[in-house]
């Protein structure tokens, strides 16, 4: 009796989809960690700006109206965390948000470096620069080997009249 020697054929499209899913799973993880990081710090800065800046040895605003800007930064960080969570649901679909996150990471590294070394700000800000630097490269890596094609497709104009 002949054995069933049926072989499964995997097409290049299926291989590509498998590889893309592999990198998207990593991107989801990195975006989720970033959301926790930004969300946690955003809530701290929004509700306890003086305590947070004192605890992390950062520039502390005067209590009262001066802390409003720091509280607004906290609100912005919470909004960023929500965008990260949205992109983490389906990184391929929300690739534009992922690209904005990548630009934001490298921009913040430049800002923190300038702020600390040129303007002589407290050096604990460099901890945030280091974290953003690491996440910058993790997000780039998690775009996968075809990162240029995926990035170009995400920022391309929509074809409204096919």
Average pLDDT, the chain: 88
Distance from the first to the final alpha carbon of the chain: 54
Spatial CB neighbours of 106, under 8 Å, sequence gap ≥ 6: 132, 133, 136
Q: How far apart are CA 47 and CA 120, in angstroms?
A: 27
Residues 51-71 pLDDT 10s = 888 887 777 777 777 778 888
Tokens of 4: 């069933």
- 1 pLDDT more than 70: no
* pLDDT attached to residue 3: 63
| Alpha-carbon 158 to chain mean position | 24
pLDDT at 121 over 80: yes
C-alpha to C-alpha distance for 117 and 94, rounded to whole angstroms: 35
Tell whether pTM > 0.85. no
- Residues with Cβ within 8 Å of 81's Cβ and at least 6 positions away in sequence, in order, are 34, 35, 36, 38, 39, 42
Q: What is the pLDDT of residues 4-51, one digit of tens each?
A: 667 777 788 888 788 888 989 999 999 999 999 999 999 999 998 888
């Amino acid at each position: 009796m002949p054995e069933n020697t049926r072989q499964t054929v995997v097409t290049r499209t299926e291989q590509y989809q498998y590889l893309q899913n592999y990198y998207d799973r990593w991107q989801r993880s990195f975006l989720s960690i970033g959301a926790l990081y930004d969300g946690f710090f955003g809530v701290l800065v929004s509700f306890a700006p003086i305590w947070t800046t004192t605890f992390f040895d950062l520039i502390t605003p005067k209590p009262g109206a001066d802390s409003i800007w720091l509280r607004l930064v906290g609100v912005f960080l919470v909004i960023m965390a929500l965008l990260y969570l949205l992109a983490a649901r389906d990184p391929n679909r929300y690739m534009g948000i992922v690209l904005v996150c990548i630009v934001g990471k490298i921009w913040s590294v430049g800002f923190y470096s300038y702020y600390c070394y040129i303007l002589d700000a407290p050096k604990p800000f460099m901890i945030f620069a280091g974290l953003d630097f690491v996440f910058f490269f993790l997000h780039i890596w998690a775009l996968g080997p075809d990162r240029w094609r995926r990035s170009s497709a995400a920022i391309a104009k929509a074809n409204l009249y096919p």
